[in-house]
Each structure stands twice: as C-alpha cells, then as structure tokens.
C-alpha cells in the first residue's frame, strides 16, 4: 500500500566537505527504506544537467539556486520529500527559495573551514589554494551562514549517525511522517 506523505524540501547548505552529501544520502536511504517517495538534487549532479554551462559568479550561483528551487517547489507540492544538497552560499537567495517553497526545512551542515580543508574530500581545496580553481567558496568567495536554520549539524563534533538522526527527528517533530 502506498503511504501518505506530505511534501517538504530539506535544504542542506554548508561549505564543500562539510558533509551535505554524506548526510543527505543516508537520510535518503532511510526514507526510501520506510517507503517514502524521495528525490535528491545534488549540486554536482545538477551542474552537469539542469545548470550545465553556469559558472560560479554571484549571478550564475543565484541562477543555479533559483533553478533548483523551482524544481524543488514542483516536487514538494506533489508530496515528494526533496533533499537538496548544494553549497548555496548566499543568504538572500536561500530566503527567496524558502518563500517559493511551501514546506521548507533548512539544515546548516556546519564544520569550520579548517576541518573541511583538512578533509579535502575532492581535493578541491588544494586546487583552490594553488589558484587552479577561482571563486572557491571559503577560499576566495564568501559563505554566508544561515541565521535561523531549522537544524544545525556540527559535523566536526558529532558522528554521521548523530547528524542524520537530528534531521530525521526534526522532520518527525514537524509532522512530515504522517502514515
């Protein structure tokens, strides 16, 4: 039997290497296991199709986020749980997207720059420090932290399991798991 569900966009924002992909994939896995309809919009994947050709200037970053926000809005209003995992460094555009989407939960995936740089999951920090990548968030491009996120995961201080649980608990508390 298909379960009833309310749509919601869970928006993971944070520096590269903070843990957005790791947490969102585990949340996705758990929700699918429970039978929910879930879609993931991951920054790296989106930039290869929906936002192909866009760069990393402020304008292009904003356009990228608007496109993702629009798709998330369409899915959310059709009762899908949408997990968005993108750096989305600018506060104003995240707010714009929040206004566009009826049910919106912001997750600030927070680890200090030093920790993200130390992890350097994709060796991007090394490249940015060497000047091979320009406009890299945290190095030579800004990141504006959310002022009032629904959830904050301090991934330098908590385990992946704890971070995932925080997100699921919040969704439960907000009533998104109606069965």
Binding site for ligand ADP (CB under 6 A): 14, 16-23, 85, 109, 119, 121, 155, 158-160, 163
Residue 124 CA to residue 136 CA, distance in Å, equals 8
Smallest gap from Cβ 132 to ligand ADP, in A, equals 18
Q: Which residues contact 2 (CB under 8 A, 6 or more apart)?
A: 35
Determine how many CB atoms are found less than 10 A away from the CB of residue 124: 19
79 vs 152 by CB, closer to ligand ADP? 152
51 vs 155 by CB, closer to ligand ADP? 155
Smallest gap from Cβ 149 to ligand ADP, in A, equals 15
Q: Are strands 81-85 and 8-13 parallel, antiparallel or unpaired?
A: parallel
Smallest gap from Cβ 45 to ligand ADP, in A, equals 11
Candidates 70, 67, 57, 82; CA nearest to 137 is 57
81 vs 124 by CB, closer to ligand ADP? 124
Position of minimal CB gap to ligand ADP: 19
Burial label, 33 (beta-carbon count in 10 A; 0-12, 13-18, 19+): exposed
100 vs 112 by CB, closer to ligand ADP? 112
């Amino acid at each position: 039997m298909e379960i009833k569900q309310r749509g919601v966009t869970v928006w993971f924002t944070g520096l590269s290497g903070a843990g957005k992909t790791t947490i969102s994939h585990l949340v996705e896995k758990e929700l699918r296991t429970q039978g929910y309809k879930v879609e993931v919009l991951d920054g790296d994947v989106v930039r290869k199709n929906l936002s192909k050709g866009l760069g990393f200037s402020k304008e292009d970053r904003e356009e990228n986020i608007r496109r993702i926000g629009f798709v998330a809005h369409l899915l959310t209003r059709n009762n899908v749980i949408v997990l968005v995992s993108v750096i989305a460094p600018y506060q104003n555009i995240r707010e714009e997207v929040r206004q566009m989407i009826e049910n919106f939960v912001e997750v600030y995936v927070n680890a200090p720059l030093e920790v993200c740089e130390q992890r350097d999951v994709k060796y991007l920090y090394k490249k940015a420090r060497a000047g091979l990548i320009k406009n890299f968030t945290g190095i030579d491009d800004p990141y504006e932290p959310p002022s009032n996120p629904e959830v904050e995961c301090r991934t330098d201080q908590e385990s992946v399991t704890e971070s995932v649980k925080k997100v699921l608990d919040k969704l439960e508390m907000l009533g998104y798991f109606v069965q």
